[in-house]
Amino acid sequence: MYTRAELSKIRTEFWIAFGQYMKPVPNAYGRRTNWPNYKTGVKDVYFRMRAEREFASIGIELGHADLEMQELVLDQFGQLKKILEGCLKEQWTWKLHVENEMGQPISKIECVLEGVNVLDSNDWPKIISFLKPRIIALDAFWDQVKPGFEDF
């Protein structure tokens, strides 16, 4: 068993390693970006990457407090589904009104890699290989569609 401090240290080391690995990769505008803490620039729309004990995931999370607004924004993403899937080269899972780790209702579009453990450094290459192309694809997608979300 790990202590809470050890868990935090290992997770921090993973995200530092991921950030260093991604540092030379420019965003869709050709600029440097902080990939582990990707900022969409749109309130209540987040690109979230997670690396946990049993899985890694990446997704678009909609955190608007108004559930009807969450649904509207998810519907707007639904209208852009073909563009999203064209960038991602795969289909992701769509979830309306689920709870996040803090018990808040969110909606999300996500992809999950099961059977990896961020606490095992041998799994880090698999996790990074999973996250890297997907965050780059999300960035390319966002570069095309972001203006349509800026008024929400």
Over the stretch 64-76, which tens digit does the pLDDT of each residue have? 999 999 999 999 9
CA 55 and chain centroid, separation:
13
Query: Is 43 within a domain?
Result: yes
Residues spanned by the domain of 46: 4-21+34-149
Query: Is 26 within a domain?
Result: no
Over the stretch 32-45, which tens digit does the pLDDT of each residue have? 999 999 999 999 99
Query: Is 27 within a domain?
Result: no
Give the pLDDT band (50/70/90) at residue 151: confident
What's the rounded Cα separation, in Å, for the pair 124 and 6? 17
CB 34 within 8 A of CB 28: no
Sheet holding 105-114, edge to edge: 45-51, 55-62, 105-114, 93-99
Query: Is 61 within a domain?
Result: yes
- Domains identified in the chain, total number: 1
What is the pTM (predicted TM-score) of this model?
0.93
Query: Is 17 within a domain?
Result: yes
Give the pLDDT band (50/70/90) at residue 135: very high
Query: Is 29 within a domain?
Result: no
CA 70 and chain centroid, separation:
17
Give the pLDDT band (50/70/90) at residue 90: very high
